[in-house]
Structure 1
Amino acid sequence: MRIVSLLPSATEIVYALGLGDQLHGVTHQCDFPENALTKPILVKPFIITNGLTSLEIDQVVSARLASGQPIYHVDQEGLIQANPDLILTQKICDVCAVSFDQVQKLEGIVNNNTKVLSLDVHSFDDMLSNIIEVGTVAGVENVANLLVVSMKKRLALMKKTVSELDYKPRVICIEWLDPLMVGGHWIPELVHLAGGVDCIGERGQPSKTITWDEFQQARPDFVLVMPCGFDTKQGKDHLADLMYRRGWDSLPGVDMNKVCVLDGNSYFSRSGPRLLDGLEIIFNIIHPDL
């Protein structure tokens, strides 16, 4: 089977299932595992964000979407050459990855037998289901089942530990710094599974913009900064967008030095197998004595 992935999390699923040799096209963001960097890049951004503040990035993206312009360019010639039997995409967010509308418009330039599979994740279980679905379509259902079983065993150990906890700290997960956004979909669930309480985010619901007053009123014990698409260095570079706000120093999590900048790009933005690593990262941060 010839596979094209238009989604970094899908690329990680493909490799986790041992299908790397069947992958014939990826996006500019597909950097894990390292072998993904050797694949033809079929998707690149129209927007260059280097040097822009969080607010400037948001403004540029919002203006482009408002005018009906795509955020990403898809190499149609490269896609034709890839000649995929299976295209992996998503329809949850037009900012994080190629929009589903774009993909649908491309279907005509590929052969009529190409299957387009949308991997739409709102929860941890959805991610596990996606692994099974990709494995089934690609003919490696047994491998997918074994992978999911092993991940569920790790999750069961976490749940057992959490069930014995008396203290569940209040946590806020920052998905974007300006405008201020908190993580949604699977992020609040990860906090819950890690033995915390997400102050604002709602499990299974989209990420949402909040006011600074709402942030302050939440009084988080921990502030986890995981900007969408940013690694740890990029997150730290943009942290000033939070630190200079009124009342920042008086927040419980700040006062107790419990502000953590995480690799959002690797462990939280992508709804793939490494969400389990992200869950364990959150647990170790909010329960440092265990």
Structure 2
Amino acid sequence: MRFASLLVRSALLIIACVGAPAPASAEPVVVRDDLGRTHAFAAPPERLVSISPALTEALFALGLDDAVVGVSDFCDFPAAARAKPKVGGVTPNIEVIVGLRPDLVLGTGGIGMREFAARMDRLGIPALGFEPNSIDAVFERILRLGEITGRRERAQKLVERLRNRLDTVTGRRPPGLPPRVLYLVDEDPYITVGAGSFLYDVLIKAGAQPFDGGTTAYPRIGMEAIVGFDPEVMFFADDTPDGGERRLPAWRRWNAISAVRSGRLYAIPRGLVNRPGPRIVDAVEMIASKLHVSHDLSVPGHPPFP
């Protein structure tokens, strides 16, 4: 009798297991990039190639070091990125990329990326392009990367920390009119930043009144416009610490410019400031420290920017 009861219970258990509905599979993650392209990911990609230094930094910040199988020649941060296989510079090497067998390639959102993504399509390799034009857009792209790669929670925590640091800087800016600031990303010809660039937002958040270059992301300007704007502080994209001091003698003939008279010409590392990635708040902090030298804009518990 006991044996029969055991058989009945076992049979019922088997029937229950067989008849139980299978757990619902996770919905695919559908992503629309800044090229207007849409891709659905049924599972997080496991082999990533990044041809954007900013996106490479974001992938490493999300703990995806091992998933990154290739990067561009310009991807030099963090240090571990330099050891990754290189896939070319301005023009990515398609053959090398295909040989790395990626299941996702990430790049910027420019015209060249559109053509590159179309070539990847023909090879059956998903490619996405991201081109944020503000700090909020940078944060949103990091969250989107977290969704794609299965690192949603880590991305949310990262963005939360970045927002807190940004709020600290903006909350400690001194009262009064912000100083007039000109940031030259290039000097032959002179090219600055406009409202269509994330760098314009970086300057605003740091407490600057940037040169009004209109909606063009990177407008060319002449010396007449620079003198007319009369910047009180000037920044130059330059990876050498004394870049501002070295430029001062050449600018002395433009002594009508307030920044030249006061010697407030500063070099800022292009590898830090010109990348819309997770170090963008470091850029805001660095610029703010130069603009508001008499105010403590440091963030408690956060190490200095690189």
When normalised by structure 1's length, the TM-score is 0.79
Runs of 5+ in structure 1 lacking a partner? Answer: 45-71
Specify which of 228, 232, 237 is matched with residue 221 of structure 1.
Answer: 232
Superposed displacement of residue 99, structure 1? 3.4
Superposed displacement of residue 154, structure 1? 0.6
Specify which of 61, 68, 76 is matched with residue 31 of structure 1.
Answer: 76
Q: 1:169 and 1:121 mapped to 2: Cα distance?
A: 25
Q: 2:148 and 2:242 mapped to 1: Cα distance?
A: 36
When normalised by structure 2's length, the TM-score is 0.75
Note if 1:178 corresponds to 2:178. Answer: no
Note if 1:200 corresponds to 2:212. Answer: yes
Secondary structure of 1:282's counterpart equals helix
CA contact 2:113–2:129 (8 Å) conserved in 1: no
Specify which of 133, 142, 166 is matched with residue 131 of structure 1.
Answer: 142
Note if 1:74 corresponds to 2:92. Answer: yes
Q: 1:121 and 1:234 mapped to 2: Cα distance?
A: 30
Q: 1:23 and 1:87 mapped to 2: Cα distance?
A: 10
Equivalent position amino acid for 2:267 in 1: V
Aligned to 1:87: 105
Aligned to 1:211: 222
Q: 1:3 and 1:79 mapped to 2: Cα distance?
A: 10
Secondary structure of 2:132's counterpart equals coil
Superposed displacement of residue 100, structure 1? 2.7
Q: Deviations over 1:213-234 (max 9, x none)?
A: 00111001000112xxx52369
Q: 2:93 and 2:230 mapped to 1: Cα distance?
A: 46
Q: 1:261 and 1:100 mapped to 2: Cα distance?
A: 33
CA contact 2:251–2:260 (8 Å) conserved in 1: no
Runs of 5+ in structure 2 lacking a partner? Answer: 1-45, 296-306
CA contact 1:182–1:200 (8 Å) conserved in 2: no
Aligned to 1:262: 268
Equivalent position amino acid for 2:108 in 1: Q
Secondary structure of 1:36's counterpart equals helix
Equivalent position amino acid for 2:119 in 1: K
Superposed displacement of residue 250, structure 1? 3.0
Q: 1:263 and 1:183 mapped to 2: Cα distance?
A: 16
Note if 1:140 corresponds to 2:151. Answer: yes
Which stretches of structure 1, 4 residues or longer, exceed 4 Å deviation after superposition? 233-237
Secondary structure of 2:278's counterpart equals coil
Aligned to 2:281: 276
Equivalent position amino acid for 1:225 in 2: F
Equivalent position amino acid for 2:117 in 1: V
Note if 1:108 corresponds to 2:122. Answer: yes
Specify which of 225, 232, 235 is matched with residue 240 of structure 2.
Answer: 232
Q: 1:289 and 1:171 mapped to 2: Cα distance?
A: 17
Q: Against the structure 1 CA distance between its residues 256 and 272, is the aligned structure 2 distance closer, same or farther, given a 3 Å change threshold?
A: same
Q: What fraction of aligned residue pairs are identical, expressed as a percent?
A: 25
Secondary structure of 2:172's counterpart equals helix
Equivalent position amino acid for 1:286 in 2: L
Secondary structure of 2:69's counterpart equals coil
Q: 1:137 and 1:172 mapped to 2: Cα distance?
A: 37
Aligned length: 248
